[in-house]
């Protein structure tokens, strides 16, 4: 990455009084925080409020960052706190989590529609559209670790710091979230043969580097001879690849609104 666009470099320059660097920093992190807010809040109006609150909090507190955690950990911790507050008091907050079927019947989408994709990207685009709906069917505590780990690309350690749980607990929730996502996308349990392992969990553990070399070799040999488990691995791999390429464009109107709010804030804090 060009150092001039590296958020860590921009933060350091902003801490030294470079106002332009602060503006670039806020613009650089805004798309990721918006995407996370959209998936956690589940409603566009709430997510836009969370994004604005988060950006203002960052503009006010960027000098307080001491580097005790990664920059990403600090950013998502702030945004997550606003998501939790918004969820607790939102008029949209449901008494219970809704199923994927209920969400789909209402025709809700949680991200702005992307522009038409080239033909060669059609399958990937369709998969992401399915994923963005399916994610809403995952319980909140499992959904947030999936978003932070598989969509935002944070490490398990960083996710643990943000959520406030241990790394093993993060991985446990992550395995369950990945399993739930796969089940929601396939609308059925895998037709596992007698003697087959829990391939969804095993594959998730493999992604986290938690399989011994011996067990990994055993599973590879099994997948080579079992079409069902091979298909499950392939499906989960494609799903998580689509997650890592999730769109993060902030609507222009939202950018303008937040830009004005930040401009007023920064002007009011000038000596």
Looking at residue 249, its pLDDT comes to: 84
d(CA 237, CA 223): 14
Token output for 18: 């470079």
Looking at residue 118, its pLDDT comes to: 42
d(CA 206, CA 215): 10
CA distances from 163 to 74, 115, 159 (A): 11, 33, 6
Looking at residue 56, its pLDDT comes to: 94
The neighbour count for residue 228, using CB atoms within 10 Å, is 14
**pLDDT tens digit sequence for 93-111:** 444 443 333 333 433 333 3
Among 173, 165, 227, which Cα is nearest to 201's? 173
**pLDDT tens digit sequence for 204-227:** 999 999 999 999 999 999 999 998
173 within 8 A of 142, measured Cβ to Cβ: yes
DSSP 8-state code for residue 138: S
Q: At what angle do helices 167-186 and 227-244 cross, to 10 degrees?
A: 110
Among 126, 140, 128, 130, which Cα is nearest to 42's? 140
DSSP 8-state code for residue 121: G
Looking at residue 188, its pLDDT comes to: 53
d(CA 198, CA 75): 35
Among 135, 151, 150, 110, which Cα is nearest to 251's? 110
Looking at residue 115, its pLDDT comes to: 39
Give the contacts of 143 (CB within 8 A, at least 6 positions apart): 39, 40, 135, 136, 177
Residues in the chain predicted with pLDDT less than 50, given as ranges, are 1, 91-121
């Amino acid at each position: 990455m060009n150092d001039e666009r590296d958020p860590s470099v921009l933060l350091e320059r902003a801490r030294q009084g470079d106002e332009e660097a602060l503006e670039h920093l806020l613009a650089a992190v805004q798309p990721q925080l918006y995407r996370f807010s959209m998936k956690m809040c589940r409603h566009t109006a709430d997510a836009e409020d969370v994004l604005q609150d988060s950006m203002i909090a960052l503009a006010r507190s960027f000098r307080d960052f001491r580097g005790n955690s990664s920059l990403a950990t600090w950013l998502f911790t702030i945004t997550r706190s606003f998501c939790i507050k918004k969820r607790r008091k939102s008029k949209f907050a449901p008494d219970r989590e809704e199923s994927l079927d209920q969400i789909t019947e209402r025709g809700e989408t949680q991200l702005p529609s992307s522009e038409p994709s080239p033909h060669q990207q059609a399958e990937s685009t369709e998969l992401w559209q399915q994923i963005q709906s399916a994610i809403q069917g995952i319980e909140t505590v499992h959904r947030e670790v999936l978003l932070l780990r598989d969509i935002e690309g944070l490490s398990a350690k960083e996710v643990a710091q943000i959520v406030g749980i241990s790394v093993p607990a993060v991985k446990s929730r992550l395995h369950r979230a990945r399993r739930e996502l796969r089940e929601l996308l396939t609308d059925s349990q895998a037709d596992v043969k007698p003697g087959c392992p829990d391939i969804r969990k095993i594959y998730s553990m493999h992604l986290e580097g938690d399989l011994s070399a011996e067990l990994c070799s055993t599973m590879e040999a099994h997948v080579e001879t079992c079409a069902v488990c091979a298909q499950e691995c392939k499906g989960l791999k494609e799903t998580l690849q689509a997650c890592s390429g999730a769109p993060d464009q902030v609507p222009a109107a939202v950018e303008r609104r937040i830009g004005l709010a930040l401009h007023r804030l920064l002007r009011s804090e000038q000596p």
